[in-house]
Structure formats: C-alpha cells, structure tokens
Amino acid sequence: MQTADAHEAQVAQVAQDLQGTTQPMSNARAFTLHLWAFVLPLITLAFWLTGPHAWWSSLLWTMPVWILIYIDNRAPRDFRQPREDIPSWPFNLQLYLLFAIQIANHVLLGYGISQLSVSNFHGFVQTLATLVAVLVVPGTTAGYSGIVLAHELVHRRNPIEFLMGRILLMGVLYEQFATEHVRGHHPRIGTLEDPATARFGETQKEFVRRTIPAQFRSAWRLEKVRLGDPKMKLPDPRMLRHRVFQGVVAELAIIAAYAVFFGPLAMVFFLLQARTAVTLLETVNYIEHWGLSRVGKKVVSIDSWDTDNWFTLYTLVGLSRHADHHAQASREFQKLRFFPETAKMPAGYYGTVLLAMLDNGRYMALATAELKRKGLGPFRNDEVKPQPRSHIHPSLLTGQSDGGSMPSPSAA
C-alpha cells in the first residue's frame, strides 16, 4: 500500500512522463475534432431518412455502431489541455445543432415505425429486424448523444439551454436526471447519500436496479425542498412548479402522442429506445465513480474515474474528462482538462460500458487492480485519509463476493 509521499511521487512521475504531450492545440483544431460528436446522430438520421428497410438492411445498419466501438477500443490517448482563450460560441452552435438533430431523430422514429406492419410474416420479420436496429442505433444515439448532450445543457445557467436539456431527457423518459444530477449527485458524489455513486464490489445490475428508483425519489424530494415544503402533497397547487412532476406529465403526454399520431407499435419502439438509453446512462454513471468515496467536503479530481481515450473525448462531448467536470461543474465541455492522477478506465467509454454490462466480473477485477495501483478507493492509505468502509458493498464486508472474482480490500 502506498504512503502519502509515494502517492505524490507517482503523480509527479506521471506528470513528468507526459511533459510535452499535454500542450494545448489550436482552437480551430479543437473545434474540428469535436465535430466527431455528430457521427452517431447523423448515422441515426440517415437510418430513418432511408427507411423503411428490408430486414437484412436493418441489421446491416447496426454495423456503424460496432465500427465506432472498434475504433474507440483502439484509439490513442489524448493528454492535450484546452487553451485558456478557447471561445464558447462555436461550441454552443454545435450543441444547438446536435439538439435539433436529436429531436428530428425522435420524430422520425415515430414516423418510420408507423410505416411498418406486423399483419403478415414478412412484415413481422421486417419489424423484428428493425427493432434490433433501433436498439443498437437510435437507442445508442439517444444514450450516448442525446443524454450526454442533455447532461452538458442542464449544467448551463442559461434558462433556455437548461430547458433544452430537460426536453432531451424527456425524449428518453428521464427528465428527473436534470434535477438529481445537478443538485443531488454533484454535491453528494462519493457519499452514501448519493444513489448515483457505485460502491466497491457492486455489480452493474445491482447498481442499475438500485439507482434508478433512488434517483427518482431523491429528485422528487429535492424539488419539494426547493418549493419550500418537504412534506408537500400531490394536490398542492405548488406542485405545478415541481419540475419532476412537470417532467412526468410531459413524458406521459409524449408517450400518448406517439400512440395517437404514429400508432401503438411506434409507442412501444419509443419506450424500448428510451430503456436502452437510460441503461447506457446508468452504466456510464456506474463506471464513472465505481469504488470511490469522497474523504473531504470538497470534490477533487481523484473522486471520479477518467479515460484518456481520444475517440471518447471528441465523440461524447468531452464526457471522458469527468474528473474535471466534477471538480468544476460549470466548466464547458471544450474546456475540460486532463488530470494524470485519476483512476483510468480500462478502455474508452464505448468499450468500458460494454465490458461492465457483458462481463462485469472482469470489469470489476480490472477496476480493482487500477484502484490498487493508484492507491485509491479502499486501497487509499491512512496517511492520505482512508476511504470509509461504509462505502464498500456489503457482500465484500461479509466475505460473500460473487464468484470470488473480487479481491477483498483488506488483501492490499
């Protein structure tokens, strides 16, 4: 286990090794690279504009997503820091255009599915293949582009941008995230009071089952507190200003609109793409804080996981530099900085999310090894203030981990 001096020496050594590779790039090049964020939404837009597709064609449309995952898994690392004078307006225009494309994709989903039929065998096979494509392409886009974009917008102080973020979240039936993430998760990150922080040893499935209802309850309570009465009842007229309540009503209206204007099949497809998007979001939450617990009152860089993956950085609106986002939540995505001392994911977001979902035992083993290597989480030394054991998953405290794939933190 590292001493405090050893930990500081490690950080200094990493910084020295990176010297010369973290120099800022030009603002024009930074803007050009961030245009990669249009790839996923434009693939989805093209999918809808060229449909309806034959069953085999629908399945072929999933290939671009697998190609993006392949590229991300083999992308180089990017340590370059943003320039201090990087402007906001061109990146804001990018966000607004991404917003418009995502809204168009939601509308086209309804129209595209309304052209399908399950009244005969051919139509049933075509619809089933389209469902696979929708889960892989529009579902991934709604999670990786729509929600990530919404995440950026709900942190903005401009009320119009904040509303845009809420609208995008309504498109995946998760508007409460706008409240819980900003006013719940950020102040409480790395504590037992934060339902969006995954505990050391907690599996992805356990986390998703726990966090979704817990985040909704927290957001609902936060809004009642904001309106001045934690015990406020539903019939209270003040509930009309309750943002989570507004979100629920709006989401029910959206579901009804899909059923009325595009038919019940389109409504089902809309619900399924929303489920895919939310699962991706919460798996992202899972890998961003797994096993970490805040020691002091102030959030610091080592309270979050990062990835230095180049492709993730530019396709997901700067999401990969999550440590800096938590250290200073108001910092815009193009200004997020690289920190060498943070725990690093085993791959970019695309690969790490898939790993956490499909081979969770291996993910936890790799993440545990990284925490141990960096002296973070339950392996944090007493001299650097240890992580509270209360934030370790109960199965590890009782020695009943799943399948023995997880080492005990005491083994360090």
Q: What is the mean pLDDT of residues 8-21?
A: 47
Q: What is the pLDDT of residue 25?
A: 80
Please give the backbone phi and psi of residue 200, each rounded to the nearest 5 degrees, phi first.
-60, 125
Q: Give the residue, 379 or 176, on which the prediction is more confident.
A: 176
Q: Flag whether pLDDT at 10 surpasses 50.
A: no
Q: Tens of pLDDT along 60-71?
A: 999 999 999 999
Q: Average pLDDT of the chain? A: 89
- Tell whether the model's pLDDT for residue 401 goes beyond 50: no
Q: Tell me what pLDDT residue 324 has.
A: 92
Backbone angles phi, psi at 306, to 5 degrees: -125, 165
Percent of the chain topping pLDDT 70: 87
Going by pLDDT thresholds of 50, 70 and 90, the confidence category of residue 397 is low
Lowest mean pLDDT among 42-51, 251-260, 363-372, 384-393: 384-393
- Residue by residue, DSSP assigns 246-310 as HHHHHHHHHHHHIIIII-HHHHHHHHHHHHHHHHHHHHHHHHHHTT----SSS--GGGSEE--BH
- Give the pLDDT confidence score for residue 380 in this predicted structure: 80
Express each pLDDT in 267-280 by its tens digit. Answer: 999 999 999 999 99
pLDDT-based confidence at residue 330 (cuts at 50, 70, 90): confident
410 pLDDT tier (thresholds 50, 70, 90): very low
What torsion, rounded to 10 degrees, do the Cα atoms 120, 125, 126, 132 define? 140
- pLDDT tops 80 at residue 14: no
Q: How far apart are CA 118 and CA 132, in angstroms?
A: 15
pLDDT at 2: 39
pLDDT value of residue 393 = 63
Sorted by where each begins, the domain ranges of the chain are 4-411
